[in-house]
Amino acid sequence: MIRAVLWDNDGVLVDTEALYFDATREVLASVGAELTRDLFVRISLEEGRSAFDLARERGTTEDEVKRLRSRRDERYSAFLRLGVPVFDGAEEVLSRLHGRVRMGVVTSAHREHFDLIHRSTGLVRYFDFVLAREDYESSKPHPDPYLAALERHGLRAEESVVIEDSVRGLLAARGAGIRCIVVPNALTRQGRFDGAHAVVGNLREAETELERLLSE
- Number of Cβ within a 10 Å radius of residue 67: 13
Over the range 17-49, which residues count as b (16 or more CB within 10 Å of their CB) and which as e? bbbbbbbbbebbeeeebebeeebbbebbbbebe
Q: Which of 88, 45, 86, 46 is nearest to 202 (CA)?
A: 88
Rounded Cα gap, residues 15 and 201, in angstroms: 15
Phi, psi of 58 (to 5 degrees): -95, 10
Catalytic residue among 8, 10, 15, 144: 8
Q: Which of 168, 200, 157 is nearest to 182 (CA)?
A: 200
Amino acid at 20: Y
Residue 8 bears catalytic tag: yes
Amino acid at 23: A
Spacing of C-alpha 74 from chain mean position: 19
**Which of the residues are catalytic?**
8
